Amino acid sequence: MEEKENYSQDVLRHSASHIMAQAVKRLFPQAKLGIGPPIRDGFYYDFDIDGEVLSHNLDRIEEEMRKIVREDLPFEKEMVSKEKARKIFEEREEPYKLELLEEIEDDEVSLYRQGEFVDLCRGPHVRSTGEVKFFRLLSLAGAYWRGKEGNPMLSRIYGTAFFKKEDLDSYLNRIEEAKKRDHRKLGKSLDLFSLSSELGAGLVIYHPKGAILREILERFEKEEHLKRGYQPVITPHISRAHLWKQSGHLDYYRENMYVFSLGKEEYVVKPMNCPGHILVYNSKIRSYRDLPLRYFELGTVYRREDSGVLHGLLRVRGFTQDDAHIFCMPSQLVDEVREVLRFVLFMMKTFRLGYQMTLSTRPRKYIGSPENWERATQALTTALEKENIPFEVAQGEGAFYGPKIDVQMEDALGRLWQGPTIQVDFNLPERFDLTYIAPSGKKERVVMIHRVVLGTMERFIGILIEHWGGAFPVWLSPVQVRILTVTTKESLFAWQVYQKMMSEGIRVEVDDDNAMLGYKVRQAQLEKIPYMVIIGPREKEKEIITVRTRDGENLRGLEISEFIEMVKTKIEDKS
């Protein structure tokens, strides 16, 4: 039922994209048509025309679309020979359509016409343009023809369409609401972090409130890793280029690396932590009895990402991974991956985050033997199955050095970002000759797993901000309690209460400004502080407190110790 509903909504949107294309062709006959499919929340159509022209005329295009809708032109399907279709698109000078046509294997192709407009299209469509009533053009973007970087850049118009006006309105509304949860906006208003052009693009400054949030996450990470048999290691931020030559990064990844010369020597700012961890492993001979070895580091790395892909905290140039490398025997692979998966699930549950998992398999270009790939892929699959985790398979999407499991998390607008990832690596063990002495006394090749369980501190904090809309659970809140005085006369008592809470490890502040209570409540509310402790003459006299939660609930007449216990329990429970 639901599938059918989606299907017909896709049809509606696909039809809307044809109407848009018709409108563009009417206004700008020189525009060449690309493709125009429905997508998750709407549709788009690509045109080969100066994007500036379109961007200045989105309103006119939408107006023309409404006209086409009023004309109520029927969508007419027509089966024609490829030969005839070719003639039609040659006449209309549509090179991209001709290119698509050549790739269709059937002798007959379907065309859809509405009025003077004709498109090569599989369909289906709604009956007539009059059925497409509620739509909106949303944005304009460049997009490479067929998604290939070397191809010409076309101009893509995004839009959306719904059967009902209410649905369109609520969709537009939802986008507006989601924008309020944008971590870049909240990061500013909650004073968590900033990015500064003086520093450089993609480099994050954590302000005190963002830094304490990160500090809490890092402490938590360290504890949890120690509980699971990881050994902390620490490796430098820069190293001789030689190391990266051996790892292969200088050959494959150089354009993303910060490389600098010092006298005769070339140095590299690390873009990854693996070579450092490998040096730890290779610092002595390893026995099978030592394995698995799990080295953990909150490793800060720098990568020169393309300027166009930077995005707040979610895509940056300097970031800290909760990185670990597991060195194990092939026979230990499944168990190790299972443990990591459990770790990831534990994290997702602790932070109440939704996610989806993808298993990426062998790409066309790869290193290592097909048998090893098969075995590793099988190990990952087995681990996923044994943990009962639903996952999708991305055929051929693995790294060239091994298969991987990626975990994606959603931002406020539903865009997916990779967080945790578990990658098997056949490459580095070869390049660095990573071995252990087997029971037989012979050297064997070690298996290496790269894994992060949150991903990076930056991205994870970004996702957390959007997930909670800035209203973090108590244990993560930069300020857990703010004490508000009703008049300045309660100041002394307020600071006494502050001392008690502070000494219990609660992050607490006092607002004893000479301002009205309503004003202070509003400030605390805007800062999304979980608890406001209100102290007026009544409380001062009886040495009790009144607590207002950020949800607006009031708890009156609490003993101070009672409240402290309550907050500590919340922190303990991570709720």
Of residues 170-189, which lie at the interface with RNA (CB under 7 A)? 182, 184, 188-189
Smallest separation, CB 117 to RNA (Å): 24
| Binding residues among 364-403 for RNA as defined by CB under 7 A | 399-401
With a CB cutoff of 8 Å and minimum separation 6, the contacts of 113 are 75, 76, 78, 119
CB 34 to RNA: min, Å: 11
Residue 76's DSSP bridge partners are: 113
Find the binder of RNA among 104, 279, 310, 329 (CB under 7 A). Answer: 310
Whether the Cβ atoms of residue 16 and residue 44 lie closer than 8 Å to each other: no
Determine the Cα–Cα distance for residues 463 and 457; give it in Å rounded to an integer.
10
Any contact of residue 305 with RNA (CB under 7 A)?
yes
Full DSSP string of 384-443: HHHTT--EEEETT-SBTTB-EEEEEEE-TTS-EEEEEEEEEESHHHHHTT-EEE-TTS-E
Subset of residues 449 to 478 that bind RNA, contact rule: CB under 7 A = none
> Is 450 a known active-site residue?
yes
- Distance in Å, CB of 460 to RNA, minimum: 15
- Minimum CB–partner distance for residue 31 and RNA (Å): 13
Contact stretch for RNA (CB under 7 A) within 86-94, 243-251, 345-353, 460-468: 243-251
What lies within 8 Å, CB to CB, of 464 at 6+ separation is 213, 351, 353, 472, 476
| Encoded tokens for 409 | 């998390």
Q: Examine residue 49 and tell whether it contacts RNA (CB under 7 A).
A: no
Residue number, 23 or 154, with CB nearest to RNA: 154
Judged by phi (left if over 0) then psi (alpha if -120 to 50, else beta), residue 167 lies in alpha
Output b/e per residue, 253-268; b: 16+ Cβ within 10 A: eeeebbeeeeeeeebb
**Minimum separation from the CB atom of position 528 to RNA (A):** 8
Tokens matching residue 167? 């649905």
Sole window of 84-92, 224-232, 291-299, 552-560 interacting with RNA (rule: CB under 7 A): 552-560
The residue type found at 212 is I
Q: Does 517 sit near RNA (CB under 7 A)?
A: yes
List 554, 561, 569, 575, residue binding RNA (CB under 7 A): 554
Using CB under 7 A, which of 291, 534, 564, 567 touches RNA?
A: 534
Cβ–Cβ contacts within 10 Å for residue 252, how many? 13
Residues 154/34, Cβ–Cβ less than 8 Å: yes
Q: Which residue in 136, 146, 303, 500 is the catalytic one?
A: 303
522 binds RNA (CB under 7 A): yes
- Residue ranges at the known binding site for Zn(2+): 274, 325, 450
| Angle, CA of 573, 574 and 575, to the nearest 5° | 90
Region binding RNA by CB under 7 A among candidate stretches 5-13, 118-126, 380-388, 515-523: 515-523
Task: Answer yes or no: 107 catalytic.
Answer: no
Instruction: For Cα atoms 438, 441, 445, give the angle at the middle one, nearest 5 degrees.
Output: 40
Residue 323 bears catalytic tag: yes
Q: Contacting RNA (CB under 7 A), which of 29, 236, 370, 552?
A: 552
321 has catalytic annotation: yes
Closest CA to 288 of 432, 441, 433, 428: 441
Task: Tell me the C-alpha distance between 567 and 575, whole Å.
Answer: 10
| Given the residues 404, 451, 520, 540, the one annotated as active site | 404
Binding to RNA, residues 269-298 (CB under 7 A): 271-272
| Active-site residue, from 22, 114, 321, 423 | 321
Among the listed residues 294, 450, 467, 528, the single catalytic one is 450
- Does 438 bind RNA (CB under 7 A)? Our answer is no
Asked if 125 is an active-site residue, the reply is: no
Pick from 37, 248, 292, 318 the residue near RNA by CB under 7 A.
248
What's the min distance (Å) between Cβ of 352 and RNA?
21
Q: 325 has which bridge partners? A: 295, 450
From the CB of residue 504, how many other CB atoms can be counted at a distance below 10 Å?
14
Tokens of 244: 């990266």
By DSSP bridging, strand 231-232 and strand 293-302 are parallel
Q: What residues from 329 to 348 belong to the interface with RNA (CB under 7 A)? A: none
Give the contact letters, 113-152, x = binds to RNA (CB under 7 A), - = no.
--------------------------xxxxxx--xxx---
Nearest CB to RNA, comparing residues 210 and 291: 210
Task: Return the residues of window 56-95 that contact RNA according to CB under 7 A.
Answer: 56
Active site residue ranges: 274, 303, 321, 323, 325, 404, 450
